[in-house]
Amino acid sequence: MSDAESPENSGSYSAENITVLEGLEAVRKRPGMYIGSTGPQGLHHLVYEVVDNSVDEAMAGHCSAIEVIIHSDGSAEVRDDGRGIPTGEHPQYEGMSAAEVVMTVLHAGGKFGGGGYKVSGGLHGVGISVVNALSEKVEVEIDREGSRHFMDFKDGGNVSTKLEVRGDAPDGRTGTTVRFWPDGTIFEETDFRAQTLLDRFQMMAFLNRGLKIRFRDDRREDPHEDANEDGWIEFHYEGGIIDFVRHVNQSKEALFAKVGYYEVIEEEQEVEIAFQWNTGFNSDGLHSFANGITTGGGGMHETGFRTALTRTLNAYGHAKNFLKDSESLTGDDAREGLTAIISVRLQDPQFEGQTKDKLGNVSVRSMVEKATNEKLAEWLEENPAEGKAIINKAIAAQRAREAARAARDTIRNKTALDGAGMPEKLKDCSSKDPRERELFIVEGDSAGGSAIQARDPKTMAILPIRGKILNVERARLDKMLKNNEVQTLIQAIGAGIGDEFDINEIRYHKIILLADADVDGSHIRTLLLTFFFRQMRELVENQHVYIAQPPLYSTTVGKSKKYLKDDREKDDFLEQHPNHKKDFQRLKGLGEMQWQELAETTMNPGDRTLLQVSVEQAAIADEVFSTLMGEDVARRKHFIQTNAKDVRFLDI
């Protein structure tokens, strides 16, 4: 492509070029429409969008490795060894290379020109041009047909250098490299969070068997603990979703060693499922995906699987006389302790619901249902010892469920009898509007006392809880409901528990965990988060759960005491006060603070910092919670020691 003939240089401006710029301008005007938000999630979507294009190349069989680098200048680079974006002139756009079209035309992606992909991921399917629109600079390098091509863009997709050849592609290599600098005038912040990216890449590697995804963070001075000597962290799973199930179950105790697997490939859609039961009591270990995208809201693939699972286990149990004719298992019984990954791929996925995370294609339901009816039945016949263990486990689940129902009725009656039904320990607030009401869950009675004095009684309620609440990962619902601290929590929040939890009934829109900044505090925080994640999932999903951040250090300036939130604030303070003696006290507990200080540093809305808890990748979070809460004490200890401050599922 010769520069002299390009429209910019000849001064003529074709109609197509104008449409192009209008398209990208629309993205810059309303970024939320294209990437969801301009917060951290939207920012990270830019990386996913580029990586998804490379994964599409991989799914089409042309790419085996993807490398992602966060550079020290904050830019992100995605490099693949695919065919390379086509470099010839585009048939419909005068004077533009196909690569320029891909980079500047909305929805152009890899789908034009007939040679498109059978199925394609892409969270919103918006295409790489959206990344261009929302970046202050983008550089593209394409190795294709023996040459290395280059072009770049500035200020939201304006061509800066048109596509040109810059020498030979090394060793006849093919592939695409896209490096972008997110636009600081569009995003609230432009700092990528490595763990958020890593969680996503690991999930993609599990879902695309054999694909290598490598990540390097050049902003770091000291290496990541999982990185090799060159700084790369690599995800690569030859077992695909079988490895995914092993990963989710690794800190759980498996009911049997095997991971079951089956797949069905039809003309226009396909499904693969991997599964294993563990000895735990959760019945939410089902994780589903469509075209490599999490479908947290479930949908047709999950419905088909659930129906067939329950039906198949009942049929098997009856045929083998493990179940009496009069007995039958419910879906919850069948799923207790089950970890399963369902991954479907289809041509035109319909993502429904408010959060667009529910698969609506009806044809998928019958495919998954039929596949499971046939293949799971076969698997049970071939694995009789496992089959028997699964049915016995489901029967035990059924008995416990009946006991839990009785315990729940007791709590409900108790609530009805105790006047307003609120636990004695709760110091409630006076506002009647749940949207402004906040519940502080405070560890220990003495800290609870200070918090009561420090609060704004109109909007802040205090619930002191003592010691360690029950470890919910290891207890069944019936046992859990007998625990006093658990009962108190359920009553205070007021929206039920488990299947009966109703988010519309919550009495507070902010549930704030207030515990010491030490290892014990971290443990109790994790117990509470696990409890919410397992028993009041919507509370976490709808981002009602927060973590208060009491300061880590104090020091004295003249006569007054100064609190510093963390090491960074301490360093900043030392920079501003170069002559300050280095006499910092490390605060051990909330109990050491005066109530006025607790108010000023940790509770007052104007002064405090709260971490909002969210769960982005439920399947990965599942493993994290199990690590934290499971039987494997050594793993947990290691995890808490290395992650005490940076709890991985926090999205900040």
**Smaller CB separation from ligand 0RA, 77 or 516:** 77
Stretch that binds ligand 0RA, among 8-16, 50-58, 352-360, 560-568 (CB under 6 A): 50-58
Q: Which is the catalytic residue, given 518, 538, 566, 600?
A: 518
Out of 23, 42, 95, 110, the residue judged to bind ligand 0RA by CB under 6 A? 110
Could you give the angle at the alpha carbon of 422 between the alpha carbons of 417 and 439, nearest 5°?
A: 160
Q: CB within 8 A of 136, min separation 6: which ones?
A: 154, 155, 156, 181, 182, 183, 184, 185
Out of 31, 43, 55, 83, the residue judged to bind ligand 0RA by CB under 6 A? 83
Stretch that binds ligand 0RA, among 77-85, 119-127, 394-402, 535-543 (CB under 6 A): 77-85
Out of 23, 31, 86, 156, the residue judged to bind ligand 0RA by CB under 6 A? 86
Cβ-closest position to ligand 0RA: 53
User: How far apart are the C-alpha atoms of 452 and 406, rounded to whole Å?
Assistant: 35
CB 465 within 8 A of CB 493: no
121 near ligand 0RA, rule: CB under 6 A = no
Beta strands in 496-571 (DSSP E): 510-514, 545-548, 553-557, 560-564
User: How far apart are the C-alpha atoms of 544 and 537, rounded to whole Å?
Assistant: 10
Out of 35, 85, 169, 461, the residue judged to bind ligand 0RA by CB under 6 A? 85
For tokens 């060693």, what's the residue? 257
User: How far apart are the C-alpha atoms of 394 and 332, rounded to whole Å?
Assistant: 8
**Smaller CB separation from ligand 0RA, 141 or 270:** 141
Q: Is 518 annotated in the active site? A: yes
Query: Which of the 8 DSSP states describes residue 203?
Result: H
**Smaller CB separation from ligand 0RA, 110 or 496:** 110
Nearest distance, CB of residue 79 and ligand 0RA, angstroms: 9
Q: Is 505 annotated in the active site? A: no
Stretch that binds ligand 0RA, among 53-61, 239-247, 364-372, 546-554 (CB under 6 A): 53-61
User: How far apart are the C-alpha atoms of 173 and 112, rounded to whole Å?
Assistant: 24
One-letter amino acid for residue 100 of the chain: E
User: How far apart are the C-alpha atoms of 132 and 20, rounded to whole Å?
Assistant: 12
**Smaller CB separation from ligand 0RA, 129 or 554:** 129
312 near ligand 0RA, rule: CB under 6 A = no
Q: Which is the catalytic residue, given 443, 622, 623, 651?
A: 443
Q: Which is the catalytic residue, given 145, 520, 566, 569?
A: 520
Query: Which of the 8 DSSP states describes residue 231?
Result: S
- Of 59, 194, 73, 78, nearest to 128 by C-alpha is 78
68 near ligand 0RA, rule: CB under 6 A = no
The three-state secondary structure class of 353 is coil
- Of 140, 216, 235, 183, nearest to 46 by C-alpha is 183
120 near ligand 0RA, rule: CB under 6 A = no
Largest CA distance in the chain: 85
Count of CB atoms within 10 A of residue 606's CB? 5
Q: Which is the catalytic residue, given 272, 516, 597, 623?
A: 516
Stretch that binds ligand 0RA, among 79-87, 191-199, 452-460, 501-509 (CB under 6 A): 79-87
Q: How many residues does the chain have?
A: 652
Q: Is 646 annotated in the active site? A: no
Stretch that binds ligand 0RA, among 7-15, 82-90, 434-442, 641-649 (CB under 6 A): 82-90
249 near ligand 0RA, rule: CB under 6 A = no
Nearest distance, CB of residue 522 and ligand 0RA, angstroms: 41
Q: Which tokens in the block code for residue 156?
A: 């939201």
Nearest distance, CB of residue 86 and ligand 0RA, angstroms: 5
Positions 132 through 191 that interact with ligand 0RA (CB under 6 A): 176
Count of CB atoms within 10 A of residue 492's CB? 21
296 near ligand 0RA, rule: CB under 6 A = no
Out of 57, 100, 143, 443, the residue judged to bind ligand 0RA by CB under 6 A? 57
Q: Is 516 annotated in the active site? A: yes
**Smaller CB separation from ligand 0RA, 85 or 293:** 85
Stretch that binds ligand 0RA, among 76-84, 276-284, 426-434, 450-458 (CB under 6 A): 76-84
Q: Which tokens in the block code for residue 617?
A: 């990748």
Count of CB atoms within 10 A of residue 24's CB? 22
473 near ligand 0RA, rule: CB under 6 A = no
User: How far apart are the C-alpha atoms of 10 and 6, rounded to whole Å?
Assistant: 6
**Smaller CB separation from ligand 0RA, 90 or 437:** 90
Nearest distance, CB of residue 56 and ligand 0RA, angstroms: 7
CB 379 within 8 A of CB 260: yes
Out of 40, 82, 292, 317, the residue judged to bind ligand 0RA by CB under 6 A? 82
For 321-337, b/e burial (b = at least 16 CB within 10 A) is ebbeeeeebeebbbbbb
User: How far apart are the C-alpha atoms of 18 and 10, rounded to whole Å?
Assistant: 15
CB 298 within 8 A of CB 290: no
Nearest distance, CB of residue 113 and ligand 0RA, angstroms: 6
Which residues are known to be catalytic? Answer: 443, 516, 518, 520
Binding site for ligand 0RA (CB under 6 A): 53-54, 57, 80, 82-83, 85-86, 102, 110, 115, 128, 176
